Chains A and B, each alone.
Chain A
């Protein structure tokens, strides 16, 4: 159906409005980060990259980034491993209470995160565990591992179990099947699961707030500085965090693209 001129105009206007709604806050934060003033105010009188310089040199900032990064990387790695085996268990094996279990493990996703964070804190306390960034990893996993499992499961469900049977029939053992068939076929799902896990952990505030104890992640610090003792580094770190996430996605896409071209090149060469 050809789109009429008036429809096209409506679509463009709609698109621009949505984009503006989504990005205007981000852009204003970006502007704030290059303002010389100590406090957020518009219009910006003098521009400067001073706060970026301070952020890079600040030991607080590097500590925050280290904590956030450590938590996010650990959560990502563990979630992906758990998701891989979890997804296979659901998609490949028939066992009693399978569907019940499937629903139960997805339940934490629907829990309000603040309640979940508080509950976990109380649980750690009663076990006598002192909260630190390590307990935050556990807390993040409770929420993120099910999401990662869900993402990999969708991929696992969509591939024909006969592929693994065929490989076995032609002489492949369990590990060979995993390496040659299952892993490569689940890889797109695992990459998206890893991306989601990283970004959800990196940006998580409610769970971290309750469970990091004396340590602090980037979102926690940003929040703390908003409610008391505003720091001009807030918009700067905000922008750095967004740019970091964006770079991560770009890297993942680049890796995926490289892997594909590499495989095709190898195929063409053989």
Chain B
């Protein structure tokens, strides 16, 4: 474990009556990173963030910020700040008053407060005239920016985000994701973000933690989580995926009930006598034809074709269940539904998930 980390969690347990929401969580967050915790609803991510900002008490374990233990510090005395899912902008105050709220609590002079608020309006690309606007006069995207400005006015050691973009429409969400990433780069602050949206996590984060039933399934950089998941859960959570059972006999010969395997093909991590799942993402699967030979091939009937915008998704019914293939629109397949197709992929584009024997 990295003891130079900004925020450290050690064996954090949270119980609600008989229900254990967090089952002993360890985590290190490095200063300046954009760290995202992703998980389905009920995975414990909301519980975790409430503990981190101090709105709930943990049952066991400890939380450290730099060299100080903070799990017993009340929320109002912690140097961290959160952007709420509902944004929690004060409806009885103007945009300016909202942004200045943390500064007012610190008894800063009105002129200094105003100057800082205007700086923040500039930083978030809101016109300075918004200072006197009521919250009810702001659009959804503008409110996001005001909430961010207010959190930045607090100047926290860590800025937490509790799914603040989840209520917005797709286009605005995409814009704000990029803006957040950009804001992170410009401010150099440590961002800790929770979301159930993999896409959001992938776009913005330096590192991602995947949460499942109260523990972290995997913590890694976004790319690694996508291409080298440690379990079926992570693989399936991180978007469309094809998984095939593989086993190796004691001599190291790899066999599959579904895939036709080229002689001599080796799979990383698959030791003699072991078994597990071979993962291949839909965009790496090719339609066979012509001279090209693949490490793994299988045949099925074309079941469906779906346009996803820039890409086209194909579903192919095989003896091993439905296999998903994605192609760029320009590489569209010339085949109609019900036709026999052969698909293949090479060992290099796969990832093997070992299962306990």
Which residues in A have some Cβ–Cβ distance to B below 8 Å?
Answer: 160, 162-163, 165-173, 176, 180-181, 184-185, 263, 267-268, 270
Cβ contact within 8 Å between A169 and B82 = yes
Chain B, interface size category, equals 20 to 34
B186 within 8 A of A: no
Which residues of chain A are near B96, meaning CB under 8 Å? 267, 270
Which residues of chain A are near B82, meaning CB under 8 Å? 166, 169
Which residues of chain B are near A170, meaning CB under 8 Å? 76, 81, 101-102, 105, 150, 154
Cβ contact within 8 Å between B132 and A267 = yes
Q: In angstroms, how far is the closest chain A Cβ from the Cβ of B38?
A: 22
Contact of A163 among B77, B88, B106, B110 (CB under 8 A): B88
Cβ contact within 8 Å between B132 and A166 = no
Contact of B154 among A162, A168, A171, A270 (CB under 8 A): A171
Cβ contact within 8 Å between A267 and B97 = yes
Contact of B84 among A162, A172, A176, A270 (CB under 8 A): A162
B91 within 8 A of A: yes
How far is it, in angstroms, between the C-alpha of A257 and the C-alpha of B132 when the chains are bound?
A: 19
Which residues of chain A are near B85, meaning CB under 8 Å? 162
B90 within 8 A of A: yes
CB contacts under 8 Å to A, within B36-90, are 53-55, 74-78, 80-82, 84-86, 88, 90
Cβ contact within 8 Å between A163 and B114 = no
Question: 5 closest pairs, A vs B, by CB?
Answer: A166-B88, A162-B88, A170-B102, A267-B94, A171-B105
Which residues of chain B are near A181, meaning CB under 8 Å? 90
Contact of A173 among B76, B78, B84, B94 (CB under 8 A): B76
Contact of A171 among B94, B106, B114 (CB under 8 A): B106
How far is it, in angstroms, between the C-alpha of A166 and the C-alpha of B86 when the chains are bound?
A: 10
Which residues of chain B are near A160, meaning CB under 8 Å? 86, 88
Cβ contact within 8 Å between B92 and A270 = no
Cβ contact within 8 Å between B75 and A168 = yes
Cβ contact within 8 Å between A169 and B55 = yes
Which residues of chain B are near A180, meaning CB under 8 Å? 101
Which residues in B have some Cβ–Cβ distance to A below 8 Å?
Answer: 53-55, 74-78, 80-82, 84-86, 88, 90-94, 96-97, 101-102, 105-106, 110, 114, 132, 150, 154
Q: In angstroms, how far is the closest chain B Cβ from the Cβ of A33?
A: 43
Tell me which of A163, A169, A180 has the highest count of chain B C-beta atoms within 10 A of its own C-beta: A169
Q: Mostly helix, strand, loop or mixed at chain A's interface?
A: helix
Q: In angstroms, how far is the closest chain A Cβ from the Cβ of B262?
A: 57
**With contacts A167-B101, A267-B96, A268-B132 known, is A172 near B76, CB below 8 A?**
yes
Which residues of chain A are near B81, meaning CB under 8 Å? 169-170
How many residue pairs bridge A and B at CB < 8 Å?
Answer: 65
Besides A162-B86, A166-B88, A171-B106, 8 other CB < 8 A contacts?
A162-B88, A166-B82, A167-B90, A168-B76, A169-B80, A169-B81, A170-B76, A184-B92
Which residues of chain B are near A185, meaning CB under 8 Å? 91-92
How far is it, in angstroms, between the C-alpha of A173 and the C-alpha of B77 when the chains are bound?
A: 9
Which residues of chain B are near A176, meaning CB under 8 Å? 105
Cβ contact within 8 Å between B88 and A165 = yes
Q: In angstroms, how far is the closest chain B Cβ from the Cβ of A187?
A: 8
How far is it, in angstroms, between the C-alpha of A256 and the C-alpha of B330 when the chains are bound?
A: 65
Which residues of chain A are near B93, meaning CB under 8 Å? 267
A162, closest chain B residue (CB): B88
Tell me which of B82, B92, B106 has the highest count of chain A C-beta atoms within 10 A of its own C-beta: B92
Which residues of chain B are near A169, meaning CB under 8 Å? 53-55, 75-76, 78, 80-82
Which residues of chain A are near B91, meaning CB under 8 Å? 163, 185
How far is it, in angstroms, between the C-alpha of A163 and the C-alpha of B87 when the chains are bound?
A: 8
Q: In angstroms, how far is the closest chain A Cβ from the Cβ of B16?
A: 12
How far is it, in angstroms, between the C-alpha of A176 and the C-alpha of B104 when the chains are bound?
A: 11
Which residues of chain A are near B114, meaning CB under 8 Å? 270
How far is it, in angstroms, between the C-alpha of A162 and the C-alpha of B132 when the chains are bound?
A: 23
A268, closest chain B residue (CB): B132
**With contacts A160-B86, A267-B132, A270-B114 known, is A165 near B76, CB below 8 A?**
no
Q: In angstroms, how far is the closest chain B Cβ from the Cβ of A166?
A: 4
Cβ contact within 8 Å between B75 and A165 = yes
How far is it, in angstroms, between the C-alpha of A167 and the C-alpha of B76 when the chains are bound?
A: 8
Cβ contact within 8 Å between A165 and B94 = no
Q: In angstroms, how far is the closest chain B Cβ from the Cβ of A171?
A: 5
Cβ contact within 8 Å between A163 and B75 = no
Tell me which of A167, A171, A180 has the highest count of chain B C-beta atoms within 10 A of its own C-beta: A171
Which residues of chain B are near A166, meaning CB under 8 Å? 82, 84, 88, 90
Which residues of chain B are near A162, meaning CB under 8 Å? 84-86, 88
Q: In angstroms, how far is the closest chain A Cβ from the Cβ of B155?
A: 11
Q: In angstroms, how far is the closest chain B Cβ from the Cβ of A165?
A: 6
Q: In angstroms, how far is the closest chain A Cβ from the Cβ of B143?
A: 13
Cβ contact within 8 Å between B90 and A163 = yes
How far is it, in angstroms, between the C-alpha of A172 and the C-alpha of B86 when the chains are bound?
A: 19
B55, closest chain A residue (CB): A165
How far is it, in angstroms, between the C-alpha of A173 and the C-alpha of B110 when the chains are bound?
A: 21
A159, closest chain B residue (CB): B91
